[in-house]
Structure 1
Amino acid sequence: MKKYLFLMLALSSALFAYSTVSEANQEIINNMLSYEKDGNTHLGDLFVYLQTKLFENAYLFVIVLVPLVFFIHYMIIGPKKFKHDGKKYYVFTLFNRIIHGIAAISFIIIIPTGLIMMFGSTFGGGEFVKACKELHAVATVLFMISVIPMFLMWLKSMLFTGEDIKWFMILGGYLSKEKKPVPAGKFNAGQKMWFWVCTIGGVMMIFTGATLYVQDLNLAVLTMFGLSKIEMLRLCIIAHNTVGLAMVALFFTHVYMSIFAIKGAILSIINGYKEEEEVAILHSSYYKELEKNKK
């Protein structure tokens, strides 16, 4: 029953997005046009095209088809299940878990409120959308607290290696019901991709979001690069929407993999322990390292 409810929600979200994104984008464009009094037309055509064509279709794809693809995967392939009564490995320290927890809470707030702000016309604007804007800003502060420690503590483990190419070639083994060892270290290629988008992309989102949130702020960067206010706002919106697409898509993926695709996987970031069979199959290189060092 829950599976069919999930499908209904995915399909209904398609109608929701399609009916609202055009109106939301038009509102942004109208606001941008109000700054054109000085005759500045830099990025004008590109901005209008991206807001009305590319971003509209891209966000519609992400918020509808990505969850739908995962639903189909869950129905056909199903989740991977591993033993939970054998040996365990302590892979995440308390500090790791606290920092990850802060980042997770921030994203749980940032993603929905960001989408509500984008589709604000459906909610009639007003106090609800304004409240979401404020929550979005508060959650961004939480993310700012976690992003640098998270970057530093996992930087070495998140560097790409040759085995990540092999992981991508078999899509981490998630298209098969068989449990065969997958080439991956402590973090697989998908997790590494999410890490870089989350941290480096997250810093970009903080800067562009702050610029849009406080539009009257006289930023020194404007004079540094010879940009006018309208040019800066347009660049920030384009960058924010572009990185936001990747963040939303990979956030959905991260949630699906940790909660649905691998049964019990989310417990490791709560108690710090991973099951031996899960490590041996999904992180085979890391497993060999642990066994070699008797950890």
Structure 2
Amino acid sequence: MKSIKYWLLFALLGVFLHAQAPKNPDFSQNTEIYGVKQIEQIKNWGVNSPTSGVVSGSVMQMQGVAVGPLDSGKPLEGIEATRGLGELFTILQGKYFASIFLAILILVPLAFATHLMIFKSKSFSHGVKYKVFSTYNIAIHWLAAVPFVAICITGVIMVFGDKFGGGVFVRLARDIHGLCTIAFAIFGPLMFLMWVKASLPKSYDIKWLLMLGGYLTLGKTIKQPIPSGQFNAGMKMWFWTCTVGGFVMIITGAFLYFQFAPINALRLSAIIHNILGFAIIALLFTHIYMSVFAIEGALSAMVDGSMGEEELAILHSYYYNELKSQGKLERMKVQEAHH
């Protein structure tokens, strides 16, 4: 009974205090927090607001000095002196990143499905074939490609971790993400060294881009030779995004995974990691579509290393003519046409 009396007493006291509280709070006694009129400025919160930095660290850090045990009081330098990264990351992470990834996951496949319905898969004669990729080329490609695709899939799972319910599944995705990153860190550089020369930009790449590689040609065939070397302009874009972009993803991902960088460096790493992720996911869809659906039998080039003469002569005309002029084409022949 005594405890019930105490509870009733506290309840009555709470009701009394609430009734006495002013209906319009008076902030005149505490007009400034962190050196600005916080109550007035909080509605303008953002990267360039007077309160920029409020979520970025301590009061001392917002005043431009360090708070670490070895450098307390010293002026901040470099990225740690950059104001607004906390706000920028919070805004992007809270409002835009997941939405952009979702748009890419829906719209890019939808665009390719529409392309396939309108322009159809292109087909070429595969009677006479030439060995355009060695066993080493094929092995390094797949040893880099498989972990790379796994990185992309698990990365998307992590972006939408809350929608997957978090927990064991998302943590497993994170662990696979890390392990596959190690694999790509080994084979990615080997792929880069293997194809960097063939992927350097050429003047005819501009012509390829202007005609979009002939992929907007109606019908099942492309008869006009396309200006392209061993790799066309689209493949080169994917190569540089996948390798150089992939290496940047490894570095920024390591910062985020181990968190051994200053807080502002982590924020910048997260922003770069996500923005590069947009390009990589979109171009991965493009690469898969072009190699599996857009050209019938194109995937065989990365399975057994061979390509039909008609496909080689039309889609990689500069490379075909170069091999022919150097007398290499005949030595690369692997199969005669059967009649």
**Structure-1-length-normalised TM-score:** 0.81
TM-aligned CA deviation for residue 238 of structure 1: 0.5
TM-aligned CA deviation for residue 256 of structure 1: 0.6
Task: Give 2:239's match in structure 1, choosing from 183, 190, 195.
Answer: 195
1:117-136 superposed matches below 5 A = 117-136=158-177
Structure 1 residue 267 and structure 2 residue 308: aligned? no
Do the aligned residues in 1 keep the contact of 2:56 with 2:86 (CA within 8 Å)? no
TM-aligned CA deviation for residue 154 of structure 1: 0.8
Partner of 1:89: 130
Partner of 2:76: none
Task: Give 1:210's match in structure 2, choosing from 254, 263, 266.
Answer: 254
Greater Cα radius of gyration, structure 1 or 2: 2
Partner SS, residue 162 of structure 2:
helix
Q: Greater relative contact order: 1 or 2 (C-alpha under 8 angstroms, separation 6 or more)?
A: 1
Q: Deviations over 1:154-202 (max 9, x none)?
A: 1111011111000010111101134121100000000000000111111
Cα distance in 2 for partners of 1:160, 1:51 equals: 35
TM-aligned CA deviation for residue 50 of structure 1: 2.5
Cα distance in 1 for partners of 2:205, 2:94 equals: 36
Structure 2: unaligned runs, 5 residues or longer: 1-53, 63-82, 330-339
Structure 1: unaligned runs, 5 residues or longer: 1-32, 220-228
**Structure-2-length-normalised TM-score:** 0.71
1:46-65 superposed matches below 5 A = 46-65=88-107
**Could you tell me which amino acid in structure 2 is paired with residue 274 of structure 1?**
M
Partner SS, residue 89 of structure 1:
strand
How many residue pairs are counted as aligned between the two chains? 252
TM-aligned CA deviation for residue 103 of structure 1: 1.2
Q: Deviations over 1:69-115 (max 9, x none)?
A: 0000111111111112x211111111111110111111221111100
Do the aligned residues in 2 keep the contact of 1:158 with 1:192 (CA within 8 Å)? yes
Task: Give 1:99's match in structure 2, choosing from 140, 163, 166.
Answer: 140
1:9-28 superposed matches below 5 A = none
**Could you tell me which amino acid in structure 2 is paired with residue 181 of structure 1?**
P
**Could you tell me which amino acid in structure 2 is paired with residue 248 of structure 1?**
I
Structure 1 residue 159 and structure 2 residue 200: aligned? yes
Partner of 1:69: 111
Task: Give 1:144's match in structure 2, choosing from 170, 185, 195.
Answer: 185
User: What RMSD over aligned residues (CA atoms) do the two structures have, in Å?
Assistant: 1.8
Partner of 2:326: 293
Do the aligned residues in 1 keep the contact of 2:129 with 2:309 (CA within 8 Å)? yes
